[in-house]
Amino acid sequence: MNARTDFDLIVIGGGSGGLAGAFRAAAHGARVALLEPGELGGTCVNVGCVPKKAMWLAAELSQRIAMAAQLGFDLPETPPAFEWKEFIVHRQRYIAGIHASYRKRVDESGIVWMPCRGEFVDAHTVQNSDGARLRGERVLIATGGRPRRPALPGAELGLVSDDFFNLCSAPRKTAIIGAGYVAVELAGVLQALGSQVELFVRGQRLLEDFDHELTDDLLENTRQHGIHAHFGYHLAQVQPAGDGHVALINQAGDRSEPFESLIFATGRVPSTASLGVDIAGVKLDEAGFVQVDEWQNTSVPHIHAIGDVTNAPALTPVAIAAARRLMDRLYGGKADSKLEFRDIATVVFSHPPLGRVGLSEQEARAQFGDAVKVFRTRFRPMLHALADSPQRSLFKLVCVGEEERVVGLHLLGEGADEILQGFAVAIRKGITRRDLEDTVAIHPTSAEEVVLLR
């Protein structure tokens, strides 16, 4: 007979969202079990945001070293080599510290952590991979997602985004399939650290969900960095090309030059396989995501889901915020607590970074028509102007109505990732362009351009 233990909440998945939910529920006095077979932190900490940002910082340093040589620093004619393996040691040491912090918090919070998988036996019972059965008054599904590998002949010859973090050097020549966050970010990092990168895009633009004017400028910046993009490209198969290289074959039968590395950045799929959601009665949508309402409720009243396993924006802070608000509602006495999925700021760590909050111009015009007013400025940040770099920034404000209420802010340029957060707060509070005009600028900065837009 398998042992059975009762909990107020069983959390399946120990990524950022699952941990946030477990910690908040425990803080409210709930008895919590957490099932996670891998390292705590999920995609974000282990094969996503954190190691990605570390590699982006390395790429930024590489570009700054080149600029320093232009500005009078006495550097060798041959740029200093980047010791990729040594940097990985620092990157993984940092991540190990996060793991240790999570384990300490789990212990201090009284959460029962089981380092194993979980699957539903019935709507209230979860069995772990060791055979133990746990009964929960409520269950939170937070199993996240995984990279999608296309169902094409030879696709197994390519890497997916998770595999990028196993690289120990920059491949000499890399093909990246995709046009979203991951494709653009990995392209920039690899190019800056020594790879020759080509992007292969099914559609006609990068980052379709971002403001088109800014993505057009970003494309020009990527070209300046040496990245070549092929648009309207339909991959049919991948073939070996000798010496461990691969070649791409499109639907017209054209064969590419050999690439040392191929990375698929073609989206992610929810991790619901072998979870037993059908046994529990939890409904999935056509794409396999767990269906939830605005309160994170699934089709089974006491089973909830958050994060990338649902069709919510695939952003770590969204999963964390949704989990915390859910637990405040379930265990903290806040009956109206839920996440509002509007004006969520997000940044692509491209070179330079691209950020947005609110509506793009095309979205605003579709919703408000001629009531939309747009204000923009293009400029070179001071460091790039001093080094005579071609990189330029584009800041764009989207306003609506006579009062010129700000409904969107879009930043492409150095520091966009750090600048956007404060303005995101202001936009959620309903600021107008007059509010920006009434704000004294901090000079000389890139951020001042937002309050100087005319």
Strand, helix or coil for residue 124: coil
Residue-level pLDDT at 77: 80
Angle between helix axes 49-70 and 181-192 (nearest 10 degrees) is: 40
User: Which CATH number characterizes residue 447's domain?
Assistant: 3.30.390.30
Number of structural domains in the chain = 3
User: 425-429, long-range: CB within 8 Å, 24+ apart, which pairs?
Assistant: 427/343, 427/357, 427/358, 428/342, 428/343
Give the tens place of pLDDT for each residue, 114-150: 999 999 999 999 999 889 999 999 999 999 999 999 9
Name the average pLDDT for the chain.
96
User: Which CATH number characterizes residue 201's domain?
Assistant: 3.50.50.60
273 falls within a domain: yes
Residue-level pLDDT at 68: 94
Q: Are residues 238 and 165 in the same domain?
A: yes
Q: Are residues 235 and 358 in the same domain?
A: no
17 falls within a domain: yes
Instruction: Choose among 224, 219, 200, 216: nearest CA to 391.
Output: 224
Task: Find the catalytic residue in 124, 230, 245, 443.
Answer: 443
Q: Are residues 365 and 434 in the same domain?
A: yes
Q: Are residues 262 and 380 in the same domain?
A: no
- 443 as an active site residue: the answer is yes
96 falls within a domain: yes
33 falls within a domain: yes
Residues 6+ apart with CB under 8 A from 103: 40, 113
Query: What single-letter DSSP state applies at residue 289?
Result: P
Q: Are residues 350 and 413 in the same domain?
A: yes
231 falls within a domain: yes
For the cut 90, the answer to whether the pLDDT of residue 1 exceeds it is: no
Give the tens place of pLDDT for each residue, 146-166: 999 999 999 999 999 999 999
pTM over 0.85: yes
Q: Are residues 191 and 245 in the same domain?
A: yes
Give the tens place of pLDDT for each residue, 54-66: 999 999 999 999 9
With residue 362 as reference, give the H or E element that holds it: helix 361-368
Range of the domain at 417: 346-451
Q: Are residues 207 and 277 in the same domain?
A: no
Please say which residue of 266, 297, 314 terminates a domain: 266
Q: Are residues 230 and 291 in the same domain?
A: no
Give the tens place of pLDDT for each residue, 201-252: 999 999 999 999 999 999 999 999 999 999 999 999 999 999 999 999 999 9
Q: Are residues 301 and 362 in the same domain?
A: no
62 falls within a domain: no
Q: What is the mean pLDDT of residues 336-347?
A: 97
340 falls within a domain: no
77 falls within a domain: no
Strands 133-141 and 125-128: antiparallel
Give the tens place of pLDDT for each residue, 16-56: 999 999 999 999 999 999 999 999 999 999 999 999 999 99
Q: Are residues 11 and 134 in the same domain?
A: yes
For the cut 50, the answer to whether the pLDDT of residue 91 exceeds it is: yes
10 Å Cβ neighbour count for 436? 21
Q: Are residues 369 and 433 in the same domain?
A: yes
Q: Are residues 318 and 350 in the same domain?
A: no
